[in-house]
Amino acid sequence: MPDIRCIGICTGGGDAPGLNAVIRAAVKAAILKYKWKVIGISDGFDGLIWPEKSRELTLKDVSGILPRGGTILGTTNRGNPFHYKMVENGQEVTRDISDQVIANALKLGIDAVITIGGDGSQKIALDLFQKGMNIVGVPKTIDNDLSATEVTFGFDTALHTATDAVDKIHTTAESHHRIMVVEVMGRDAGWIALEAGIAGGAHVILIPEIQFTVENICKYVTEREGYGKRFTIVVVAEGIQLPPELKENRRAGSVGNLVGDAIALRAHKEVRVSVLGHIQRGGSPTPFDRILATRFGVAAVDLIAAGGFGKMVCLQQERIRAVDIAQAVGRLKTVDPQGEIVRAARAIGICFGD
């Protein structure tokens, strides 16, 4: 068993509800179960580039943070120490400062690091592990697209927020007899759109995994009108593949607006668009996310105690396990277009635009 006296914790990439719950659980388990000291590393790995930004975390520091969104440590999605962007002589240059990061961790007395992050942060963790750092990962993302774990914390909270939005859109859509488009996050995976669409009773769901056409959506709107339904709710994932006629405008605005405008033009209907954006990343984590985050935080500390470096905790068949980070990164988990959940949605008449 490794001789551990002090661990560091950092949060990297986009924030997700439940990060503070992981930090709290890890700090409590480290102090209460193992009597270790804990250092909070600020703003991703920036706290190891500038070690003066890092600070000790005591039980008092994590008191009351369980229901809080965001991360008390701060985060960044730009601080890869292997490709660090800096300005030298007025020029932006990219440098590998990973040696400095490892040296600073040692200087701070850190024996092992817990890195809480998505695919990008876990890749950095893997590279640092391969350079000799004792590191374990905790998966995080509202997109739920990490293949090694059945669920990531943050997803359930984002799903609740998106579902609540679709519920609210319902009444106004029905009152005004409108087509309402709701754009949700999820990067290249359609999980938030698919599940919020089903949970919120949407009529059309557009996801990156299924190619749609505007014509098919309009046909479906007309069919609905045929049986007296004068409103339609369309949930759009931000990562959808746009049909060729809309592709060139992708940069001009959100995909929700592009799809909404195209439907309005073709169907001659009134369309309104809501882009949910970062509210999906905020707010208090749901009980599910708080519990999963707590289990992950404790498991990460236990993994360090057992010397399981280079591994990431995960949820498989409802049990907390650990996988090699090398096996966990670079393989995104996307929606299976032929899978049971899509088939269930189709069976209740939901249109995917294909």
Q: Tell me, what amino acid is at 3? A: D
# residues near ligand F6P by CB under 6 A? 11
- Is 186 a binding residue for ligand F6P by CB under 6 A? The answer is yes
Contact between 187 and ligand F6P per CB under 6 A: yes
Q: Are 182 and 166 contacting, i.e. CB atoms less than 8 angstroms apart?
A: yes
Residue 197 to residues 76, 150, 176, 256, 290, Cα–Cα distance (Å)? 30, 20, 20, 14, 23
Stretch that binds ligand F6P, among 180-188, 223-231, 326-334, 346-354 (CB under 6 A): 180-188
Least distance in angstroms from the C-beta of 191 to ligand F6P: 10
* 41, 148, 185, 205: which one binds ligand F6P (CB under 6 A): 185
3-state secondary structure of 232: strand
256 binds ligand F6P, rule: CB under 6 A:
no
Provide DSSP, 8-56: EEEE-SS--TTHHHHHHHHHHIIIIIH--EEEEPPTTTHHHHSGGG-EE
Nearer to ligand F6P, 12 or 186 (CB): 186
Three-state helix/strand/coil letters over 80-127: CHHHEEEEECCEEEEECCHHHHHHHHHHCCCCEEEEEECHHHHHHHHH
Q: Is 141 in the site for ligand F6P (CB under 6 A)?
A: yes
142 binds ligand F6P (CB under 6 A): yes
Under rule CB under 6 A, residue 51 binds ligand F6P: no
H or E segment to which residue 346 belongs = helix 340-347
Query: 76 vs 284, which CB is nearer to ligand F6P?
Result: 76
What is the token pair recorded at 18? 């439940």
CB–CB of 290/66 below 8 Å?
yes
H-helix or E-strand containing 205? Answer: strand 204-206
Contacts of 98 (CB under 8 A, 6+ apart): 81, 82, 127, 128, 131
Q: Residue 348 Cβ, how far from ligand F6P at the closest point, in Å? A: 26
Catalytic, 302? Answer no
Which listed residue (6, 65, 76, 77) binds ligand F6P by CB under 6 A?
77
**Interface residue with ligand F6P, options 8, 12, 14, 81 (CB under 6 A):** 14
* Shortest Å distance, C-beta 154 to ligand F6P: 8
Give yes or no for a contact between 240 and 335, defined as CB atoms under 8 angstroms apart: no
Closer of 61 and 188 to ligand F6P (Cβ) = 188
Of 31 and 199, nearer to ligand F6P (C-beta) is 199
Q: Which residue of the set 46, 119, 143, 261 is catalytic? A: 143
Nearer to ligand F6P, 133 or 138 (CB): 138
Question: Would you count residue 254 as binding ligand F6P (CB under 6 A)?
Answer: no
Does 281 participate in binding ligand F6P (rule CB under 6 A)? yes
* Shortest separation between residue 141's beta carbon and ligand F6P, angstroms: 5
Query: What are the residues whose beta carbons fall under 8 Å from the beta carbon of 287, sequence distance 6 or more?
Result: none
Q: Are 256 and 275 in contact (CB under 8 A)?
A: yes
Please check whether residue 145 is in contact with residue 333, taking contact to mean a CB–CB distance below 8 angstroms: yes
By CB under 6 A, name the one of 43, 143, 183, 289 that touches ligand F6P: 143
Q: Taking CB under 6 A as the rule, which mask of x and - marks residues 288-327 in contact with ligand F6P? A: ----------------------------------------
Q: Is 117 in the site for ligand F6P (CB under 6 A)?
A: no
> In terms of CB distance, is 110 or 237 closer to ligand F6P?
237
Which residue number, 43 or 143, has a Cβ lying nearer to ligand F6P?
A: 143
Q: How far is Cα 38 from Cα 176, in angstroms, rounded to an integer?
A: 55
Judged by CB under 6 A, the stretch of 139-147, 197-205, 246-254, 322-330 that binds ligand F6P is: 139-147
- Calpha distance 243→348 (Å, rounded): 25
Given the rule CB under 6 A, which residues bind ligand F6P?
14, 77, 118, 141-143, 185-187, 238, 281
Catalytic residues: 143
